[in-house]
C-alpha cells in the first residue's frame, strides 16, 4: 500500500507533482481516490479524475466523512459526475463501511500466481497406494464417457492428464495412468510412490485419496495427507473395496472410528466405495465439485469479524498476563481460504491458537475439506 502525499498544497498540478503521482499510479494495481464528502468538488478534482480515468487502472472513488450519510444517495450524487463509477462512502473516523471497502479492494486484486481459479477447470487426481483401486474408480467414473475425454501428457512419462467435460463442468484429472493403458507389471509397488504423488498434488485443487480398506491408513497415507494440507489443497477420502467388509454392521462400527483414524486430518470428508460393484462411485464427482466450490468461497470481512468475536467470547488466550486481542481479521485469498489477523500480541498466536481459529472458522462457515491458512500481523 502506497500512501501518496496527495496534492493541492499549492492548488495546482505542477509538473513535478504530476510526475510523482504518475509514478505512483503506474506501479499500483488499484487506486483509492479519496475525497472529502463534506466539501465541494473542485476543478482540480475533475482534472485528477481525468488522469485516473486515462490511466486505465482500477479506481475506487472513496468518499470520506460520510458518517450518518452512508445510505443516503443524495449526498453521493455530485461525486458520480467525476466519471469514475459509483462513489464508495466511508467514515474513517467512525469506522463505517471500512470492512466493505477492504472486501472491494481484495476482490479487485489480481489473482496470485498459483491459483488457477481463473480458468474454470477443476483439477483433481486420485492419489493413494498402488492397488488401492484408483484406476478401477477412474474407469467406473468415466468409463462410459470416453469419447469426450482427451489425454495430454502428465507429469511423468507413464501418466496423462485427462480433460473431461461432464454436466457442463470442465475437469482435468491429473496424472492418471490413462484409460487405455496396457496391463501393468506390478513390482515392488507396495510403497506408495511418494515423490510422484507430491508432484501430482501440487498441480491440483482437490485430491481424491483412495484408501484400500483391507490395508487401512498407514504412515504413508498420513504423510500424503500432511502434504495435501501443507499445500492448501482440498481432499476427499475414499475408502475403497467396501465389498470386502464382512457385514454392514462391521462397516458402521468402523465408520465411527474413522475420524479418530484420520486425526488430525478429520476435517477431510470421507466416503465408502466399491469400484468393482460400482457402489457410491457416483458420489465422488459431486464431492469434488463441492470441495472446489468451498475452497473458493469468500466471506465478507464483517462476517469474519463476527465469527472471530464469537470465537474469542468462548475462550481467552494469554501469555505473560497479556490477553490476545484480534483487532480485525480479513480473508485475503481463496484456494485455500487465507486470512490475515491483526492482533495486539502475535506471540500469543502459537500453533495451537491458530489451529483453534482454523477449526472455529471451518465449523462456523461450513468450510468442509479444505485447509485454512492464517497469517498473523501485529498492530499497535
Query: Which residues make up the interface to ligand GDP (CB under 6 A)?
Result: 130-136, 240-241, 243-244, 274-276
CB atoms within 10 A of CB 94: 13
CB of 135 to ligand GDP, least distance (A): 3
Instruction: Specify the residue, 33 or 239, whose C-beta has the smaller distance to ligand GDP.
Output: 239
Least distance to ligand GDP, CB of residue 149, Å: 17
Q: Name which of 370, 353, 343, 341 is nearest 314 in CA terms.
A: 353
Q: What are phi and psi of 24, to 5 degrees?
A: -65, -40
Judged by beta carbon, residue 30 or residue 276, the one nearer ligand GDP is 276
Least spacing, CB of residue 61 vs ligand GDP, in Å: 56
Compute the least distance from the CB of residue 239 to ligand GDP, in Å.
10
Query: Is the Cβ–Cβ distance between 209 and 220 less than 8 Å?
Result: no
Q: Which C-beta is closer to ligand GDP: that of 122 or that of 275? A: 275
* 317 and 303 Cβ atoms separated by less than 8 Å: no
- 3-class SS string, 247-305: CHHHHHHHHHHHHHHHCCCCCCCEEECECCCCECHHHHHHHHHHHHHHHCCCCCHHHHH
CA 360 distance to own-chain centroid: 16
DSSP state of 29: S
Closer to ligand GDP by CB, 273 or 331: give it.
273
Which is closer to ligand GDP, CB of 78 or CB of 177?
A: 177
CB burial string 170-193: b at 16+ within 10 A, e below: ebbbbbbbbeeeeeeeeeeeeebe
Q: Which is nearer to ligand GDP, 118 or 187 (CB)?
A: 187
CB of 187 to ligand GDP, least distance (A): 13
Pairing of strands 373-378, 338-343: parallel
Q: Which residue is nearest to ligand GDP (CB)?
A: 133
Cβ–Cβ under 8 Å, residues 240 and 132 = yes
DSSP string spanning 89-129?
A: E-BTTTTBSHHHHHHHHHHHSPPPTT--GGG-EEEEEEESS
For ligand GDP, which is the closer residue by CB, 146 or 319?
146
Smallest distance, ligand GDP to C-beta of residue 279, A? 8
CB of 137 vs ligand GDP, minimal distance in Å: 7
Amino acid at each position: 500500500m502506497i500512501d501518496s502525499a496527495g496534492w493541492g498544497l499549492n492548488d495546482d498540478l505542477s509538473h513535478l507533482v504530476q510526475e510523482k503521482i504518475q509514478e505512483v499510479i503506474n506501479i499500483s494495481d488499484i487506486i483509492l481516490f479519496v475525497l472529502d464528502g463534506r466539501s465541494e468538488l473542485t476543478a482540480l478534482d475533475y482534472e485528477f479524475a481525468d488522469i485516473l480515468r486515462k490511466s486505465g487502472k482500477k479506481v475506487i472513488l472513496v468518499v470520506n466523512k460520510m458518517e450518518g450519510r452512508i445510505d443516503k444517495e443524495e449526498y453521493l450524487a455530485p461525486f458520480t459526475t467525476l466519471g469514475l463509477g459509483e462513489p464508495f462512502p466511508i467514515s474513517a473516523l467512525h469506522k463505517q463501511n471500512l470492512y466493505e471497502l477492504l472486501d472491494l479492494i481484495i476482490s479487485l486484486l489480481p489473482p496470485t500466481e498459483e491459483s488457477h481459479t481463473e480458468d474454470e477447470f477443476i483439477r483433481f487426481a486420485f492419489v493413494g497406494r498402488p492397488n488401492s483401486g484408483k484406476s478401477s474408480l477412474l474407469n467406473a467414473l468415466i468409463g462410459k464417457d470416453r469419447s469426450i475425454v482427451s489425454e495430454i501428457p502428465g507429469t511423468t512419462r507413464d501418466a496423462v492428464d485427462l480433460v473431461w467435460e461432464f454436466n457442463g463442468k470442465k475437469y482435468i484429472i491429473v496424472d492418471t495412468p490413462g484409460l487405455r493403458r496396457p496391463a501393468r507389471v506390478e513390482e515392488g509397488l507396495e510403497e506408495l510412490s511418494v515423490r510422484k504423488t507430491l508432484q501430482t498434488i501440487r498441480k491440483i485443487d482437490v485430491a481424491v485419496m483412495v484408501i484400500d480398506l483391507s490395508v487401512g491408513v498407514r504412515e504413508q497415507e498420513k504423510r500424503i495427507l500432511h502434504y495435501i494440507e501443507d499445500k492448501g489443497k482440498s481432499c476427499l477420502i475414499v475408502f475403497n473395496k467396501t465389498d470386502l467388509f464382512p457385514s454392514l454392521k462391521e462397516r458402521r462400527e468402523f465408520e465411527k472410528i474413522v475420524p479418530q483414524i484420520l486425526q488430525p486430518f478429520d476435517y477431510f470428508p470421507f466416503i465408502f466405495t466399491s469400484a468393482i460393484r460400482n457402489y457410491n462411485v457416483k458420489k465422488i464427482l459431486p464431492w469434488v465439485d463441492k470441495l472446489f466450490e468451498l475452497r473458493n468461497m469468500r466471506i465478507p470481512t464483517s462476517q469474519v469479524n463476527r465469527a472471530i468475536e464469537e470465537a474469542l467470547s468462548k475462550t481467552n488466550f494469554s501469555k505473560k498476563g497479556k490477553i490476545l486481542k484480534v483487532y480485525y481479521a480479513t480473508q485475503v485469498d481463496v484456494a485455500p481460504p487465507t486470512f490475515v489477523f491483526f492482533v495486539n500480541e502475535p506471540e500469543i498466536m502459537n500453533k495451537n491458537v491458530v489451529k483453534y481459529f482454523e477449526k472455529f472458522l471451518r465449523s462456523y462457515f461450513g468450510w468442509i475439506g479444505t485447509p485454512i491458512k492464517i497469517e498473523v500481523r501485529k498492530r499497535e
